Structure formats: C-alpha cells, structure tokens
Structure 1
Amino acid sequence: MLQIDVPMPTMPNRQDFSAESDRVRLSKVALKAYKRLVKEWGLKGEQAAALLDVSTSTWERMKQEGKDKALSQDQLTRISALVGIYKGLHLLFADGMADHWPGLHNKAPLFAGMSPIDSMLKGGIPQMLEVRRYVDAVRGGL
C-alpha cells in the first residue's frame, strides 16, 4: 500500500495566557494599558473592578501598587479583549468619540439598548469578545 505523507498545516501560536511565565511577563504592561483605558473611558472604580472581575478594594490596590505577581489567565483575557476594543474604536472614530462610545446606549441587538460597558459588565468575557468582534466588523476588520 502506497502511503503519502501530507504535511498538516501548522496553527499559528495563539497567545492563551496559560503559561505562568507568559502571565508574569505580560501582567505589568497589561495592567498599565488597562489603567489607561479606565481613565480614557472614564470608568468608575466599581466598573473597572467588575470588568476585571476583582473587588473594588483589590482594584484600588492594583492601581496604586501595580501588580508584582502574574494576573490570572482570566484577567489577561479580559484586558486583551478590552484593549482590542479600545484599539478598534480608535481606528474607527476620532479620539473623543472612540472614548465616549463605550458608555453610550446602543440600539444594536448585541447591546439590547444598554451601553457596551453595561453589556460587558452583565455578560463577562463572552460579551467582551462579542463586542470586540462587533467593533472589528464595523470597522471592516472581519
């Protein structure tokens, strides 16, 4: 029987934040980016904490001290999605509108009349990823 070896396509290395070494390496810059996003979007402390899935007191400590240990895989995924939304909005709109949009009530079915922020607070990571896909689609990235 003739056997032909067909090379399997390789999947690109996708960042999954599972390795602690990656989380340690990325945590400081991710937290710095998230703090900037919180400021630019005008989020309240409770909102910033909830989007990151930490208590308000933990968020306040993280803001003041930074974070010496690695963020969790979940937290890095959240920050990655939110930074992707931030970047997509800045490609789509002028800076003022890009930073204002997440707080505006939205009639698109994805948001059910809520603001994107409120929808992400309610829907967690799955909604954050959907909002990111939505922004990318609107700007023609999909």
Structure 2
Amino acid sequence: MTQDEAAAMFRAVLNLFGKWELRDEQAATLLDMPARTYRRWKSEGLGRVSRDGRARLSNLMGIHKALRIIFSEGSRGYAWIRAANDTFDGAGALAVMLGGELTDIMRVRRRLDAERGGW
C-alpha cells in the first residue's frame, strides 16, 4: 500500500470512526498512536504511516466491509460494534478492539469474515 492509498484509507476510517461515534482517544488506540498525533492527523492531514498502521487501516476497512455485507442497514452494523456478543464473552467488538493490539482488531475481522462466509 502506498502512502497515497494509506491517506485515502485514513480518510475513510475517519468517516467510519464518526459512524461508530468514537472519541479521539478511542480512535487513537485503534490506530496505535497518541491522541495528540491522531488529532493533528485528523485536522492537518496524514503523516507517514507505518506497516502496522497500514495493517490496522486495512483491517478496520475489512470490518466495515463485512458489516455492510452482513447487515443491509448500515445503522445495524454500526450498532453491532458496541453490542454485547457471545463470541467475545459478552463484550462488544469495540471493547475487544480497544485492547489496542493489531491482533485484537484482527480477531474481530476474522469473526465477521467467518460470519459472512469469507475466509
């Protein structure tokens, strides 16, 4: 993924975070960066994105795509992120992802990909 592609994906993820109603601190955790850096990137534009950052962006967009396939109404997919889920021992997907590790985000994506019949 090029830096231009990462920048486009970051803009899409910013929109997604708005739909998920995330606070800046939560968004920064998902992207593994200080909240101050996230706020700067959000207002001034993206800095250099690391390999881990690109993987996070890609997985977050994969989660969004899977939710759009599973739920015909976008609002249901956005609500699913916070809803209690037996797969995650009663926690919501957002709570799992806020563990802060790339593997936490990937765990949610794998669950959704399995649900929609992917992977």
TM (norm. structure 1) is 0.78
Paired amino acid for 2:108: V
2:29/2:100 contact within 8 Å kept: no
Quote the residue 1:49 is aligned against. 28
Paired amino acid for 1:62: W
Q: How does 1:65-76 map to 2 (within 5 A)?
A: 65-67=44-46, 69-76=47-54
Paired amino acid for 1:54: M
Distance of 1:62 and 1:72 partners within structure 2:
14
Cα pair distance change 1:44/1:123, threshold 3 Å? closer
1:90/1:98 contact within 8 Å kept: yes
Q: Percent identity?
A: 35
Give unpaired runs (5+ residues) of structure 2.
Answer: none
Quote the residue 2:69 is aligned against. 91
Shift in Å at residue 70 of structure 1? 2.4
Distance of 2:86 and 2:26 partners within structure 1:
21
1:126 aligns with 2:103: yes
* Aligned-pair Cα RMSD in Å: 1.3
Shift in Å at residue 123 of structure 1? 5.4
Q: Which runs of 4+ in 1 moved over 3 A?
A: none
Q: How does 1:1-142 map to 2 (within 5 A)?
A: 17=1, 22=2, 24-67=3-46, 69-93=47-71, 94-108=73-87, 111-122=88-99, 124-142=101-119
Cα pair distance change 1:118/1:140, threshold 3 Å? same
Higher RCO structure (Cα 8 Å, ≥6 apart): 2
Q: Paired residues, what number?
A: 118
Distance of 1:88 and 1:41 partners within structure 2:
15
Give unpaired runs (5+ residues) of structure 1.
Answer: 1-16
**3-state DSSP class of the match of 1:104?**
coil
